[in-house]
């Protein structure tokens, strides 16, 4: 298999779930010990995000401008999907294979050592606006964009291969399994109950109140009754819109407020754990015109306090060792 680079989605013949193969990315998996030594960009000296020209990184745009940028959108040098012309899925023997065509950009934040929890509210507002702006640009780029994921990994154990704070945006020509399950599940719930599942969830959380961590006029953050992992937090907008990218600009400061409060509570209560944060929004291209009737965009934050093991991998079911009621109580009572 010398020199063969795979860059494609392959669909599992049994489950129907897609897996992305991107073997041309920076490095092959290594043992943890090697990884520790290898996290060499921890010092700003060798950091590729201090000088884009020197590190041969290609900027897309800067916020607010190139000289005084606080956020730079750059092309990922080792993208998991690549720009190209979209072709229909092909068959390979009994399998469906889809070329991994798309955008994979990074949002790089100016300060090498300043993490989200340390940002000001205005700085988080700029992050949210940059997310929306780049999302809309990519979604308007033409065919082949079925889903766009925005995510942020904090800490080595959460998968951040480069220390310098950055988020990622990636578009894909297929609907990823988690999104597909949520969109179909919320659609089916709507058809069966004539109610939006997220409204039912929020109403129930509001009534009980014991899993709510924080809320403001427009957003609510809670540990879901069915949390997959300890201290899992979900943030929902009260207007229950399907599309994050279409959120009105006046909402941004409220979202920034709830994000900052939650991230600071997590940092303080759990001792600055690594975490994954992502935005789940409706599919970019959908023939479900009515998606707004049953789907609500939201943000999930998953602190990395445990590692998936044999049981989880073998069953596709998580074991959560912390009662979400207690997780929420702890976070709610943490002053920040």
**268: Cβ–Cβ under 8 A, 6 or more apart, which residues?**
334, 335, 336
Segment lying near Zn ion (by CB under 5 A), choices 102-110, 112-120, 196-204, 257-265: 112-120
Using the rule CB under 5 A, is 112 a contact of Zn ion? yes
- The nearest distance, CB 145 to Zn ion, in angstroms, is 30
Segment lying near Zn ion (by CB under 5 A), choices 41-49, 123-131, 177-185, 246-254: 41-49
Q: Whole-angstrom Cα distance, residue 47 to residue 271?
A: 26
Q: Whole-angstrom Cα distance, residue 169 to residue 165?
A: 14
Segment lying near Zn ion (by CB under 5 A), choices 44-52, 75-83, 86-94, 234-242: 44-52
Q: Is the Cβ of residue 44 or residue 308 nearer to Zn ion in the bound state?
A: 44
Q: Whole-angstrom Cα distance, residue 108 to residue 129?
A: 14
Choice from 7, 8, 9, 49 touching Zn ion (CB under 5 A) = 49
Q: Is the Cβ of residue 50 or residue 137 nearer to Zn ion in the bound state?
A: 50
Q: Is the Cβ of residue 164 or residue 298 nearer to Zn ion in the bound state?
A: 164
Q: Which of residues 127-186 bind Zn ion (CB under 5 A)?
A: 164
Q: Is the Cβ of residue 49 or residue 107 nearer to Zn ion in the bound state?
A: 49
The crossing angle, in degrees rounded to 10, of helices 121-139 and 252-270 is 120
Q: What residue is closest to Zn ion based on CB?
A: 47
Q: Which of residues 50-79 bind Zn ion (CB under 5 A)?
A: 50
| 16 phi/psi in degrees, rounded to 5 | 80, 5
Question: How would you write 34-96 as a 3-class SS string?
Answer: HHHHHCHHHCHHHCCCCCCCCCCCCEEEEECCCCCCCEEEEECCCCCCECCCCCCCEEECCEE
Which residues belong to the active site? Answer: 166
Q: Is the Cβ of residue 164 or residue 332 nearer to Zn ion in the bound state?
A: 164
| 325 phi/psi in degrees, rounded to 5 | -60, -45
Segment lying near Zn ion (by CB under 5 A), choices 20-28, 91-99, 110-118, 265-273: 110-118
C-alpha dihedral sign at 72, 73, 75, 76 = positive
Number of residues this chain uses to bind Zn ion (CB under 5 A): 6
Q: Whole-angstrom Cα distance, residue 195 to residue 223?
A: 22
Q: Phi/psi class of residue 244: alpha, beta or left (left: φ > 0; alpha: ψ in -120 to 50)?
A: alpha
- The nearest distance, CB 98 to Zn ion, in angstroms, is 35
Segment lying near Zn ion (by CB under 5 A), choices 27-35, 108-116, 152-160, 204-212: 108-116
- The nearest distance, CB 47 to Zn ion, in angstroms, is 3
- The nearest distance, CB 25 to Zn ion, in angstroms, is 20
**219: Cβ–Cβ under 8 A, 6 or more apart, which residues?**
235, 236, 237, 238, 254, 255, 257, 258
Q: Is the Cβ of residue 107 or residue 222 nearer to Zn ion in the bound state?
A: 107
- The nearest distance, CB 109 to Zn ion, in angstroms, is 9
| In contact, 196 and 190? CB cutoff 8 Å | yes
Task: State the residues that interact with Zn ion by CB under 5 A.
Answer: 44, 47, 49-50, 112, 164
């Amino acid at each position: 298999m010398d020199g063969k680079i795979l860059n494609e989605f392959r669909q599992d013949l049994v489950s129907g779930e897609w897996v992305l193969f991107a073997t041309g990315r920076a490095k092959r998996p290594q043992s943890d010990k090697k990884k520790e030594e290898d996290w060499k960009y921890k010092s700003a000296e060798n950091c590729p995000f201090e000088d884009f020209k020197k590190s041969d990184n290609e900027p897309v745009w800067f916020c607010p401008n190139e000289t005084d940028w606080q956020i730079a959108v750059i092309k990922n040098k080792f993208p998991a999907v690549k720009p190209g012309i979209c072709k229909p899925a092909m068959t390979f023997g009994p399998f469906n294979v889809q070329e991994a065509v798309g955008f994979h950009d990074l949002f790089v934040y100016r300060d090498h050592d300043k993490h989200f929890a340390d940002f000001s509210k205005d700085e988080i507002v700029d992050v949210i606006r940059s997310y929306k702006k780049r999302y809309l640009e990519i979604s308007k780029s033409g065919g082949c964009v079925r889903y766009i994921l925005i995510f942020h990994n904090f800490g080595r154990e959460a998968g951040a291969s480069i220390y310098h704070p950055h988020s990622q945006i990636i578009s894909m020509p297929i609907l990823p399994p988690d999104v597909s399950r949520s969109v179909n599940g919320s659609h089916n719930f709507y058809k069966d109950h004539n109610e939006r599942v997220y409204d039912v969830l929020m109403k129930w959380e509001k009534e009980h109140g014991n899993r709510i961590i924080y809320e403001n006029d427009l957003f609510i953050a809670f540990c879901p009754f069915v949390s997959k992992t300890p201290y899992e937090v979900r943030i929902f907008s009260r207007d229950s819109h399907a599309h994050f990218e279409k959120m009105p600009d006046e909402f941004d400061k409220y979202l920034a407020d709830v994000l900052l409060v939650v991230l600071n509570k997590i940092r303080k209560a759990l001792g600055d754990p690594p975490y994954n944060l992502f935005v789940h929004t409706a599919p970019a291209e959908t023939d479900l015109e009515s998606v707004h009737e049953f789907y609500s965009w939201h943000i999930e934050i998953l602190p990395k306090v445990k590692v998936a093991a044999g049981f989880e991998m073998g069953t596709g079911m998580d074991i959560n060792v912390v009662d979400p009621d207690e997780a929420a109580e702890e976070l709610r009572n943490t002053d920040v």
